[in-house]
A and B are shown apart, each in its own frame.
Chain A
Amino acid sequence: MKFLTRQEEMILLAVWQLGDNAYLVTIRQLLSRITGKKWSMGAAYVPLNRLFQKGYLQDRIGEPNARRGRNKIKYYRLTAQGIDALEELSAMNRALWQDFPATAEGEESV
């Protein structure tokens, strides 16, 4: 498996969490909320697009909501390859984090 960057990993997980409602705006907001950092649109878009081009994500064009004017929405969803990648990643992470004393997961991990 090719290694993903940390950002790519986070984006992939965010898409997973958001399910059918994953597109650039929601992904960016989720990541900003969880990491507590400012994510610019570009910072979210670049890894998102790269994952898409590499085949981890597939797209679906949806009708615009009220706030967007006439601009349609490009939703993202994990492909089988994307799910495989996440599974591998989580297995690897579990193995790597195995003996780490802290009980709380996911926080302050950077």
Chain B
Amino acid sequence: MGRHGITPPVVATWLLRVILPPDEIPYLLGDFREEYVEMFSRKGRMRAWLGYWGQVLSSLPLFVKDVLYWRVNMFLKNFITATRTALKHKTASFINLAGLSLGIACCLLILVFVRFETSFDDFHEHGDTVYRLTLELTDGENTRTMAYTMLPLGPALARDYPELEAVARLSYKNALFSMADRNFRQNLYYCDPDIFNILTLPFVEGNPATALNEPYSLVISAETARKFFEGSPALGQTISLNNTMPYTVTGVMADVPPNSHLDMDILASFASLANAERVKGEYWDRIGSDATYVRLPGGMDPAVLERQMPDFLRKYRDFEEGENMILHLQALGDIHFSRLDYELARTTDPNLVTAFSAIALFILLLACINFMNLTTACSMGRAKEVGLRKVAGARRSQLMGQFLTESMIMALAATALAVLVVLLALPYFNQLIGRELAFSPLRDLSLTLGLVSVIVAVGLGAGFYPAVILSAFRPVKVLQGKPWTAARGRVFRTSLVVFQFSIAVIFLVSTIVVYNQLDFLRSKDVGFPADEVLVCWLWEDPEPESVERFRRELQGHSAIRDASAAFGTPAGSSSASRTYKPEDRPQEQGLDMLTIFTDYHFLDTLGLQLVQGRNFSRDFATDADKAYIINETAARALGWEEPVGKRLFSDYRAEGTIIGVVRDFNFYSLRVSIEPMILTISPEWHNSMAIRVQPDRAADAIAFLESRWPEYAPRYPLDYHLISDEFRRHYTFEQRLGTFFVCSSILAISISCLGILGLISYTVARRTKEVGIRKTLGASVPGIVALLVRSYICWVLAAFVIASPLAWVLMDGWLSEFAYRTDIGWAPFVLAGATTLFIALATVIWRALRAALSNPTDTLRYE
């Protein structure tokens, strides 16, 4: 029979190669070919060709089914083995499962948080073409960026660039809303009607096209409507703002999702402000809390518009020497992570989100490494199993499959547990960080996909190394009882342990430093007794005489040391920045200073200390409107050693004389450094009252305040707070995140401790026989313990040396963000090192003692 030139159809053969079970390919291909040759010699080429194709096509589905059948069969077998193994080694499985699921749970929580933070403003239909204008202001050497823009900017933009789809101004205000019998103090935005063409704010009632056209119109959110009107229809109702103008509700919009950078609960028509002085005039110099938003036409490059802004601005405004303004277009999606000096929105530090993602990854990595460590360590006990399987003819791929299945099952179980933990912990977590995060893997496709990939990644990642190592055991060695002849496994595991200790050290150091810094901020002296000073808002348009009467009455009470009316109190929301020119350099660009308009009692009420000059006094007639007291920072900024007696020219008052210098005190928060500040007497501006209470009699003072309030402001609710509480509020988010950071580090530390515990247990167990022999040869218990402990001390020390510089760099970077920071010092390092060493030693000694105290006859009987 000729066998040359008789080859079966190539394509069909290739198909067979693809589909046949890989191990059987050579034999089966031979079988197919044999049939073909036989047919060829009996019935000719054509029939053989057809027959071959027929065979291939009719056999393919059967082969596919067969391959699948064996895959499933294998998986089930592995599954059963895995469950049996897990149940046999209960402690190890528990440590593994607990570590993994804690790790995954923490990772998931952070993931949910990160996803929320990165999802800001993603619900706006035209979001990708919406921009906010931000202003970069250069004043001599001083550059500030702000979300605030000049009010005439919006209309001018709309006029000069008709191609813009929409332009709207937002003006942030706080007002008192009065219904028939109830009052609420709330924030609101005055907006141009175009706002609804820029942001997506669906209406429940009313027409967005006309809702904000008329003056004195209000659009409120559904939740606000419920709060204001308790279920009765809101549309068409009137609400009085600040007890002056009645506004009409012209629309109710759906609640704005929590991931919006603006808390838009109440919108008022911009036209309502038409009579306000600053709106009437073309004030291109004034910058208040007003933002400008634009929507570009599709396809328009924001950079092109941005390049035209300098010329555009110059058309409307003259610039002085050294002064400059640059307008930027900030994409809507970037606002939440923007870091401007003056911000209107709720923003988050992007570094923080990065830091948390890193923590999440680290925790997951730690959990995986633990898993790898423990599984490989456990493999000692399973070496015999592997050896026997190999002798019985198991292929390496089968063994690897078995180990991977085991780790997959563990990962799956751990993930299921983790989901449960997250569901239970989320409410507390939300409370902790003050957000409203939601977690529902069933409804959320991307989250589910994320979960599945977590399972696969953890399963493969954590199971791969043990699978490779274990399946590589040589049966002969194993059955002799020495699987660990290769040193490479040991090196790898040692480095893993060192890595784990290092991570623990880094986390410990960071946790201690973060805690120290937060504690430092909490207890930092702000320059005056903030916990003794109450601030309450005054009523609308207060008469200076009645304010003074009220002030005197308060001061007269025994629980109150002093009281002072002012515009601008520490940690408050209103403050004014004014420009001052020094007498010796009047032609220069002036200095912007935070200006507090107050009365004769401000210094005494806040307990501020004078370092030069004197306090305001009624004995000097000029103090009433021509005297200034500045702080030390201002004195430095003005460049005067002896500022007392020097004159300043300001933009609101021709001339005034500095009469004193006050010691620096914190006005906003400790994150911001102290600014130049100036105090002056100006009763017509007062909008709040600062009240210094006797240390233990705050309750009496408050009771008195509440009893006297109605006489002065019958229609106005009393709104007061302690300055130290306000300061604290400034740090809340930071503090919460700090707490969260501390929590997750503790978790990371406990995960590594779990791993260290498991690992040590197994290394010690591995040396049981050695310990037994040493004991029979007369070794003492302390001697044996010391022997086992020695290597771990080395590892901890190595980890400490590696981790300390890293931790220092990390924490120094974090602290550099604060104006007031603690020194890192050496204490955190000592503490972290000692803790790690203690944990390691305690575990080793506990385990080693057990080994050393055990009876050699028990341990040696294993042979």
Contact = CB atoms under 8 A, between A and B. Distances in A.
Interface residues of A, number: 23
B839 interface: no
Contacts of A65: 34
B65 interface: yes
Interface in B1-49: 1, 3, 21, 24, 26-35, 37-38
A68 B30 contact: yes
Interface string A54-72: 0000000100111111011
B55 interface: yes
Contact of A25 (B34, B58, B59, B63): B34
Given A45-B66, A67-B38, A24 B59 contact: no
A42 B58 contact: yes
B62 A46 contact: yes
A92 interface: no
Contacts of B33: 67-69, 71
Interface in A62-91: 64-69, 71-74
B61 A73 contact: no
Contacts of B3: 66-67, 69
B60 interface: yes
Contacts of B35: 25, 28, 41
A43 interface: yes
B1 A41 contact: no
A41 B62 CA distance: 9
Nearest to B2: A66
A43 B62 contact: yes
A71 B32 CA distance: 10
Given A25-B31, A46-B65, A66-B1, A72 B59 contact: no
A72 B62 contact: no
A98 interface: no
A49 B29 CA distance: 15
B31 A23 contact: yes
A40 interface: yes
Contacts of B32: 41
Interface centre among B27, B28, B35, B66 (most CB of A within 10 A): B27
Closest 9 CB pairs of A and B: A71-B30, A42-B59, A42-B62, A74-B27, A67-B37, A68-B30, A40-B58, A24-B31, A41-B59
17 contacts: A24-B28, A25-B31, A41-B32, A41-B35, A41-B55, A42-B62, A45-B28, A46-B63, A46-B66, A53-B70, A66-B1, A67-B38, A68-B31, A68-B34, A69-B3, A69-B30, A71-B27
Given A41-B28, A46-B65, A72-B26, 14 more contacts: A23-B27, A25-B31, A41-B31, A41-B32, A41-B55, A41-B59, A42-B60, A42-B61, A45-B66, A46-B66, A67-B38, A68-B30, A68-B34, A71-B29
Interface of B: 1, 3, 21, 24, 26-35, 37-38, 54-55, 58-63, 65-66, 70
Interface of A: 23-25, 28, 40-43, 45-46, 49, 53, 61, 64-69, 71-74
